[in-house]
Amino acid sequence: MTDVNIAKTQSRDAAIYGKVFDALLEQKLAPGTRLSEDKLGQVFGVSRTIIRKVLQRLEHEGVVEIHRNRGAIVANTSYEQAKQTFEARRTVELAVVQQACKHIQPKHIEQLRLITIEEQQARSEGDQGRALRLSGEWHLLLAEFCGNEFLARFSRSLVSRCSLIIAQYEVDTHKLCPQDEHTDILNAIIKKDEKAATRLMHAHIQHIESKIDIRDNKEEPDLAKIFAEG
């Protein structure tokens, strides 16, 4: 295979992975949803082998479970695991803002501001799914820009897992965190005020965690409908 073909293959795989990951952030894929290789292959027009690679990557990140007889499903999380996940996320996010206060660059600040504006626009238009995805992307970008690649990796897994937990245990499906929280955190980072940034991020994660409580799973979603929309 030529370098050009390899690059095209990697780009295609990344695009499919990105669509599935975005669906997780938007809470379109509820925990327990079966991710059929055949069905997803038909949806994206690719082979089962390609879908399997994508699902294995998601399994490595902890958001998909692959079982020998049942195939792949979106990961379910026990209530105790949910609490532990938020504890881990709180620890990672506080470390992220502390590092960001030291290492973030002006060009990165501008990207985060643009994401915040897009998120607020989605909120004003009542597009909750897009607002949730952009909120998750804001956290992922902040972690990417903080100067510690390991924190960025941990953050990616934790943010997506928290989206699944909210989808599984959410109390109010229309409850979003106050829209100025990301802006306030970013302003504290710009001022290199670690104390304020960590305090604001701690409160922000508490608001996210406050959305959850034990409840029954949602009904099985239609994979073709979910990915046809994008």
Write down the pLDDT at residue 6.
53
Whether pLDDT at 206 is above 70 = yes
Write down the pLDDT at residue 158.
93
**Residues paired with residue 34 on neighbouring β-strands, in sequence order:** 73
The DSSP result for 94-140, as a single string, is HHHHHHHHHH--HHHHHHHHHHHHHHHHHHHTT-HHHHHHHHHHHHH
Look at residues 47, 44, 36 and name the one whose alpha carbon lies nearest to residue 17. Answer: 44
What SS3 state is found at 165? Answer: helix
Q: Tell me: the pLDDT tens digits for 99-156?
A: 999 999 999 999 999 999 999 999 899 888 888 899 999 999 999 999 999 999 999 8
Using pLDDT thresholds of 50, 70 and 90, give the confidence band for residue 2: low
**What does pTM read for this prediction?**
0.77
Q: Tell me: the pLDDT tens digits for 57-104?
A: 999 888 899 998 888 999 988 888 888 999 999 999 999 999 999 999
Write down the pLDDT at residue 112.
96
Helix (H), strand (E) at residue 73: strand 71-74
Using pLDDT thresholds of 50, 70 and 90, give the confidence band for residue 172: low
Q: Tell me: the pLDDT tens digits for 7-37?
A: 566 688 889 998 998 888 888 888 889 999 9
More confident residue, 117 or 174: 117
Whether pLDDT at 51 is above 70 = yes
CA atoms within 13 A on the CB side of 35: 30
Per the structure block, which two tokens stand in for 22? 């975005």
Q: Is the dihedral of CA 13, 14, 15, 20 positive or negative?
A: positive
CB neighbours of 116 closer than 8 A, spacing ≥ 6? 138, 182, 183, 186
165: amino acid identity, one letter: I
Look at residues 81, 35, 63 and name the one whose alpha carbon lies nearest to residue 214. Answer: 81
Write down the pLDDT at residue 220.
60
Using pLDDT thresholds of 50, 70 and 90, give the confidence band for residue 216: very low
* Mean pLDDT, rounded, for 45-65: 92
Whether pLDDT at 4 is above 50 = no
Whether pLDDT at 41 is above 70 = yes
Structural domains for the chain: 3-76 (1.10.10.10), 79-209 (1.20.120.530)
**Residues paired with residue 72 on neighbouring β-strands, in sequence order:** 35, 66
Phi-psi region of 192 (alpha: psi -120 to 50; beta: other; left: phi over 0): left
